[in-house]
Amino acid sequence: MIWRSLAAGLTGMFVLVNTPIQADSAVSPFNLYGDRISFSVLRNGKEVGSHEVRFKRSGEDVIVTSQFELKIRALAINFYKYNYTSVAKWNGETLKQLKTDVSDNGKKSRVEAKRTGDSLSVRAKNANAKIDGPVFLTTHWNPNVVKSSKVLNTITGRINNVSIKAVGKEKVQTERGLATATRYRYSGDLQTEAWYDNKGRWLKLRFKADDGSTIEFQCKSCLG
């Protein structure tokens, strides 16, 4: 399926090299973004979907809901659909719970994780694991993920290995016009690029689909 590389764009693990992001020890999404961030999804420059991340307080926890929808059409007929929903419960930088549901052109899959003490148990169709200590997800909103050496893949339930380098500053389109952001390039198991401003706000994402097309997340509301 041409969209297997969505796993690269949405989830993965990487080691930081030369990052200028100034992130706090514990990041508040409300301080960075307010209650949500949203992107248009482009395929070779044409809008084909949307991605939104919503933040909600639940006592001392934060519930983060990520939703990605994509439709490819030809002659006014839908011939490919992809839907992704991830709900994660965080307490500070500690992931307590996760549930991800994916419909890949009708083929459904689920990943679930739950923390007991210092260990996170992960269940998926072809990957069951126990992860000790803290772990990040590359749903990209938290800039502290760039300091991590292990990240849970929310699509497959696996840990992926990637290296990342900051490759320079660029102007990125936002809801308030152009903003300066640093581009990071991933290599290894996953290959993608992500952009953050100097406050750590996620502004853009780009990667190649399996069919060679370019998928880009373009900021609609990222600055809070």
pLDDT single digits (tens) 141-163 = 988 877 776 678 899 888 877 77
CB 56 within 8 A of CB 63: yes
pLDDT single digits (tens) 40-93 = 999 999 999 999 999 999 999 999 999 999 998 876 676 889 999 999 999 998
What does pTM read for this prediction?
A: 0.85
**Residue 130 structural domain:** 2-221
pLDDT single digits (tens) 84-129 = 999 999 999 899 999 999 999 999 999 999 999 999 999 998 778 8
- Domains held by the chain: number: 1
